[in-house]
Structure 1
Amino acid sequence: MKVAKFGGSSVANAEQLQKVASIIQDDKDRKVIVVSAPGKRFSDDIKVTDMLIELGEAFFNKQPYEQKLQAVLERFQSITNELSISDQIIKEIKDGVEGILHSTDSDALKMDALKATGEDSLAKVLSAYLQSIGVESTYLNPQQAGIFVSEHPGGAQVLEESYDHLYQLRERNEIVVIPGFFGYSKEGKLITFSRGGSDITGSIVAAGVKADLYENFTDVDSVYCVNPTIVDNPKQITSLTYKEMRELSYAGFSVFHDEALIPAFKADIPVCIKNTNNPQAMGTIIVSKKEPQPNPVVGIASDTGFISIYVSKYLMNRELGFGRKLLTILEDEDISFEHTPSGIDDISVIIRESNITSEKEERVIARIKEELDPDTVSVERDLALIMVVGEGMDSTVGLADKATHAFHQAKVNIEMMNQGSSEVSMMFGIKAEKVNESVRALYHMFFE
């Protein structure tokens, strides 16, 4: 049994949905289908989920929203017209959105329900189209499927009991189409996963039905070892481990939401990334273990938008609880951190800029000075993180030397480096303006 998930670019319009239907028909083992909301049809297009968010924000700010709703309806109308299926779904979307906006739920729950409308509606459209071409198919709401989640709007976590409910889908003979991105609380409230959460749904469903393979269809033939917008025609990766994919996703690879594979990883289900526009291509397989390779480095990922809070104090290493107190200050301000490289007398905390407002930053710095009495506190901005990733790196001699030599050749100063805490990656912090030159130099060093 296979679970196949189709991303936003794969369901962006009627032509893409016809490709999806052909892919489903090509393999009788593809029994459960998970879909995203329609994505961009061309580079300047707007994703349906973004349209729905704009609609909600207009309503909450007491601004006219009817034109934004009409744009969403027209987007789905064009799909149903081209597929020659009933446009009853258009009325359902309109009535559904109006019902959400005028419900008694909190604004957070309303926004979750609005955001999920794209996936939910697309699943209904795909199921109806499959039926129209003679494929036995059923739309299944996540609540009916048994996807139960914690009540954290915009950040749901799946409840363990969901997997037992999902396993019952194996008994169905028809194709089941499930919308991604959301589940239901035990109280019956619709709650979404974090953005990109349709990948999470696909992974949860694959784990629940104990699939033999989870296929994730997107718009690339495979995962590349480096961002193709930085390096021309980079090498394709044919196989990855879960750990490698997790590191790459975290550090900027956009193929997967970085939490998406956790359910599949726990259930030891292989994942294959494939191209909806070229389904015959091999793709990239993600597994729990793979054979050692001559070059242990599989990929280089980069991401910008980080700051570093640097704290220095003489004899810090002898001061009991210093690190705990520092991180408690961040916790009190609801700030998560990414890395904490440290020395004997100093420590840096790497934080995504999006996680810390200027007001929070001022409070954090003031509390550090008052409660920890450091010699120095400073903030460094405009940082980028680059991850060199691969299983077996920790037991391969000379990789750090090659990496630092690449930075030297690119004339880039390394602000920080962290290798010992991970078996599968080396992390480098540099100034953001130098990120592309650095990635190209590393690619040349490890792959050319």
Structure 2
Amino acid sequence: MKVLKFGGSSLADANQFKKVKDIALSDEERKYIVVSAPGKGVRSSHKVTDLLLMCYQLASHDLNFNEIYEIIEKTYKEIVDELELSVDIDKILKDIHGEIQNGASKDFTASRGEYINAILLADYLGWSFVDAKDIIFFNRGDLDEEKTEREISKVLQDSPYTVIPGFYGQDENGKIKTFSRGGSDITGSLIANALKSEIYENWTDVSGFLVADPKIVENSKTIDYITYRELRELSYMGAPVLHEDSIVPVKKYGIPINIRNTNAPSDKGTTIIPNYDDEKITNNITGIAGKRGFSVITIEKTFMNTEYGFFRKIMSVFETNEIPIEHMPSSIDTVSLIVDTGKIVEKLDKIIEEIKIYTNPKSISVEHGISLIAIVGKGMVNSKGTSGKIFTALGNNDVNVRMISQGSSELNIIIGVLDKDFEKAIKSIYEAFN
């Protein structure tokens, strides 16, 4: 049994609905579908959820929102008319308009895009519709995981071929409550987990994750397999992957997530797995990602490694100033602290002065304009010469490495380079391994 989730671009108009139907009916094991609201498509440059939130904002200030709501109506009516659905879309839209006009909550208003889309797709497929509010539960703002898993299993276990709206559930008072981020992805993951699905297929408008940013590396290869841990490392460095909250539920039972392209269904996409089988490791490097805008604060003091509490004192300065430290490579007499420039720039003089008071260092230097690049891959653990290959590639392309950090798990290597060398460094590393 498979659970599928279709994103907003996959259900933006009637033509996209037809693609979704072909995908859903091509495999009888595809029995549950979670949907997003219509996204940007050929006929619309606006996401329905954004339009609904505009309606809410206008209504909350007693302003007329009919002009915006008409765009939403047009989107859904075109889908219904072109697909010749039996849904009374006029009544549904009229009822929702009335709710918004009469003071509906922000969460209720935002959730109606998914709600309508699920009703339409269920009618088009001839499947059942189950409202997310009947199976997803929140308590005091947090997901009630135990009740949600229990109710999903109870309601859906014996009801295959069902469409469910993503993004929302209900709170302890029976009111609509939305997820903060990645809502439909989380809904799909929760359902796959509760039903112990064979696989969770997440259909979008790309054929999986790429090894490197296509804006930097043209024609970057697609990642065939990636583990949950590798994904977390790349996500931390800004790679456009799934939000972490949408992965947590399926990790419980090690359910794979397959990222697929609605517009290219024959592409196998990227599969997120708990751990590798040896045959799935096709490259030392799984992915490369990075971020600009870091600063390096380097503290020098002779024999600092023998001074009790030295590092604790430094850490306390950053803790009391509420500045997170990204990395902290050190040697016998120096330690470097890599921090987000935007978070430290206004407090820099204060932090330097406090470090001097606490540790009496020989010197403190600060360098801005640093980029961090993460090279991630489970295959690096058992492969000799990976680090040498990386640094040879960088050296051959005149990229000066300002910082090196390798985790104890050998899952990733993080390097720091000047902002001006950021794109060149990523291209160099990619070309060395592909």
Q: Which TM bucket (shorter chain)?
A: 0.7 to 0.9
> What's the offset of the Cα at 1:172?
2.7
CA RMSD of aligned residues (A): 3.2
Distance 1:73 1:212, change over 3 A: same
Q: Among 328, 338, 346, which residue is 1:362 paired with?
A: 346
Query: How far did residue 367 of structure 1 move?
Result: 6.0
SS in 2 for 1:236: coil
2:215 is equivalent to residue 226 of structure 1: no
* Aligned position for 1:272: 258
Is 1:148 the counterpart of 2:137? The answer is yes
**Shift in alpha-carbon separation, 1:176–1:381, aligned structure 2, 3 A:** farther
Assess if the C-alpha contact under 8 Å between 2:3 and 2:30 holds in 1. yes
Structure 1: runs of 5 or more not aligned: 104-109
Aligned to 1:296: 284
Cα deviation for residue 20 of structure 1 reads 1.0
Do residues 125 (structure 1) and 120 (structure 2) align?
yes
Query: Unaligned regions of 5+ residues in structure 2, if any?
Result: none
Q: CA–CA distance in 1 between the matches of 2:269 and 2:169?
A: 29
The reply on whether 1:191 has 2:187 as its aligned counterpart is: no
**Mean Cα deviation higher: 8-17 or 432-441:** 432-441
C-alpha change, 1:434 and 1:114, in structure 2 (3 Å) is: farther
Q: Which residue matches 2:161? A: 175
Partner-residue secondary structure (3-state), 1:224: coil
1:94 matches 2:109? no
1:223-245: per-residue Cα shift (whole Å, max 9, x none)? 33223332222223322222222
Q: Match of 2:206, SS?
A: coil
Q: How does 1:336-375 map to 2 (within 5 A)?
A: 337=324, 339-343=326-330, 345-351=334-340, 353=342, 356=343, 362=346, 366=350, 369-370=353-354, 373=357
Secondary structure of the residue that 2:372 maps to in structure 1?
A: strand
Task: Give SS of 2:78's match.
Answer: helix
Match of 1:159 in 2: 145
Please say if residues 250 and 258 of structure 1, whose CA atoms lie closer than 8 Å, have aligned partners that are also in contact: no
Give the length in aligned residue pairs. Answer: 420
- The residue identity in structure 1 corresponding to 2:195 is V
Distance 1:116 1:406, change over 3 A: farther
**Alpha-carbon offset, residue 419 of structure 1:** 1.2
The residue type paired with residue 15 of structure 1 is: N
Between Structure 1 and Structure 2, whose CA radius of gyration is higher? 2
Letter matched to residue 48 of structure 1: V
Name the CA shift for 1:137/1:408 in 2 (closer, same or farther; >3 Å).
same
User: What residue identity is the alignment partner of 2:124?
Assistant: Y
Partner of 2:374: 387
The structure-2 alpha-carbon separation of the partners of 1:316 and 1:187, relative to structure 1 and needing over 3 Å to count, comes to farther
Closer, same or farther in 2 for the Cα pair 1:84/1:8, shift >3 Å? same
Offset, 1:390: 0.9
| Structure 1 contact 414–428 (Cα < 8 Å) conserved | yes
Give the counterpart letter for 2:10 in structure 1. Answer: S
- d(CA) in 2 for partners of 1:366 and 1:114? 45
- Cα pair distance change 1:286/1:350, threshold 3 Å: same
2: distance between equivalents of 1:43 and 1:244? 37
**In the aligned structure 1, how far is the partner of 2:43 from the partner of 2:316?**
47
Query: Counterparts of 1:262 and 1:394 in 2: how far apart (Å)?
Result: 25
Identity of aligned residues (%): 33
**Aligned-pair CA distance for 1:349:** 4.2
Offset, 1:216: 0.9
Alignment of 1:206-221 (within 5 A): 206-221=192-207
Aligned partners of 1:369 and 1:377 also within 8 Å: no
Structure 1 residue 444: deviation in Å?
0.5
Q: Distance in 2 between matches of 1:268 and 1:21?
A: 28
Give the drift of 1:5: 0.6
Q: Deviations over 1:149-203 (max 9, x none)?
A: 3544xxx555343222222244333422222223333343433333333222211
Asked if the contact 1:326–1:368 (Cα under 8 Å) also holds between the matched residues in 2, the reply is: no
C-alpha deviation, 1:55, in angstroms: 4.2
After the TM superposition, which residues 252-331 of structure 1 pair with which residues of structure 2 at under 5 Å, given as runs? 252-292=238-278, 293=281, 295-304=283-292, 306-308=293-295, 310=297, 312=299, 314=301, 317=305, 318=307, 320=309, 321-329=312-320, 331=322
Q: Of the candidates 398, 401, 407, which is equivalent to residue 411 of structure 1?
A: 398
So what's the TM-score if we normalise by structure 2? 0.84
What residue is the counterpart of 1:106 in the other structure?
none
Distance 1:395 1:325 in 2: 37
Cα distance in structure 1, aligned partners of 2:16 and 2:70: 22
> Does structure 1 retain, via aligned residues, the 8 Å contact 2:134–2:170?
no
Distance change (3 Å), C-alpha of 1:55 and 1:417: farther
- Per-residue deviation at 1:255? 4.2
Q: CA deviation at 1:15?
A: 0.9
SS in 2 for 1:225: coil
Residues of 2 paired with 1:327 and 1:182: CA distance? 38
How far does residue 222 in structure 1 lie from its aligned partner after superposition?
3.3
Task: Indicate if the aligned counterparts of 2:189 and 2:250 stay in contact, CA closer than 8 A.
Answer: yes
Q: Residue 329 of structure 2 contacts residue 404 of structure 2 at CA under 8 Å; is this kept in 1?
A: no
Aligned 8 A contact 1:329 1:364 in 2: no
Amino acid at match of 1:393: M
Change (3 A) 1:297 1:144: same
